[in-house]
Amino acid sequence: MDNTGLIGTVSIIVAGFTIAIGCIAPAMSEGRALAQALSAMAQQPDEANTISRTLYVGLAMIESTAIYCFVVALIIVFANPFWTRVAAGG
């Protein structure tokens, strides 16, 4: 296998691991945050608006981690800086 094939293979494997870990961890975190928020709302119904507002902000921050992992995986596959180095022969 030449260098181009090796870089392609490693890029696809690393992008797959990035997406796998980048989707599992935020999904578990979002589930736990939602469970804790529902528990807090059940204990203090008067504070439901404040808890839900804080929950939405927290879920957006957690979801941004998955989006960053997706962007990194796209960069690894489509805009890999090693492609140009191998193509240039250096």
Q: What is the pTM of this model?
A: 0.76
pLDDT in tens, 33-73: 999 999 999 999 999 999 999 999 999 999 999 999 999 99
Taking CB atoms within 8 Å and a gap of at least 24, the contacts of 72-78 are 72/18, 72/22, 73/15, 73/16, 73/18, 73/19, 73/22, 74/15, 76/11, 76/14, 76/15, 76/18, 77/11, 77/12, 77/15
Instruction: Return the CATH superfamily for domain 3-80.
Output: F1F0 ATP synthase subunit C (1.20.20.10)
How many Cβ atoms from other residues are within 10 Å of residue 79's Cβ? 9
| Residues 36/42/43/49 CA torsion (nearest 10 deg) | 80
